[in-house]
Amino acid sequence: AQKVTQAQTEISVVEKEDVTLDCVYETRDTTYYLFWYKQPPSGELVFLIRRNSFDEQNEISGRYSWNFQKSTSSFNFTITASQVVDSAVYFCALSEAQDSNYQLIWGAGTKLIIKP
């Protein structure tokens, strides 16, 4: 069965430290899509990135980077030189190409606290 695990419930670091949020997924589908969303203290949910299963290239966007490894079924998210504004809950999600209901399977989220 499909599943997304974010084992880190809460992470606290001091500003400017690098931090990695882990995401491990399970799926039987060979074609699937992985997503990261951010939920800042204001409460809205913001899309960060999408990765499909055929593209294992790592992605970098400013201070954010994502490491997709099919061999370990992981899609980890790293923030370099963290800032207080990065404080948020981060969710990882999975969507399978064969799912005709277009469901997203969500991890439980990791609360990231960046201390000044």
Partner 1 sequence: NAGVTQTPKFQVLKTGQSMTLQCAQDMNHEYMSWYRQDPGMGLRLIHYSVGAGITDQGEVPNGYNVSRSTTEDFPLRLLSAAPSQTSVYFCASRDRGNSYEQYFGPGTRLTVT
> Does 32 help bind partner 1 (rule: CB under 8 A)?
yes
State the virtual CA torsion across 24, 16, 115, 66 in degrees, nearest 10: -20
16: left (phi over 0), alpha (psi -120 to 50) or beta: left
Using rule CB under 8 A, residue 35 touches partner 1: yes
Q: How many residues bind partner 1 (CB under 8 A)?
A: 24
Place of tokens 């951010």: 38
Question: Could you tell me which stretch among 13-21, 55-63, 73-81, 107-115 binds partner 1 (CB under 8 A)?
Answer: 107-115
- The rounded distance, in Å, linking the Cα atoms of 25 and 93 is 9
Q: How far is the CA of 36 from the CAs of 8, 25, 64, 108, 116, in angstroms?
A: 15, 12, 11, 12, 25
Among 7, 14, 81, 97, binds partner 1 (CB under 8 A): 97
Kindly state whether residue 57 participates in binding partner 1, applying the rule CB under 8 A.
no
Applying CB under 8 A, does 12 fall inside the site for partner 1?
no
- Using CB under 8 A as the binding rule, whether residue 60 contacts partner 1 is answered as no
Q: Which residues bind partner 1 (CB under 8 A)?
A: 32-33, 35, 43-45, 47, 50, 52, 91, 93, 95-97, 99-104, 106-109
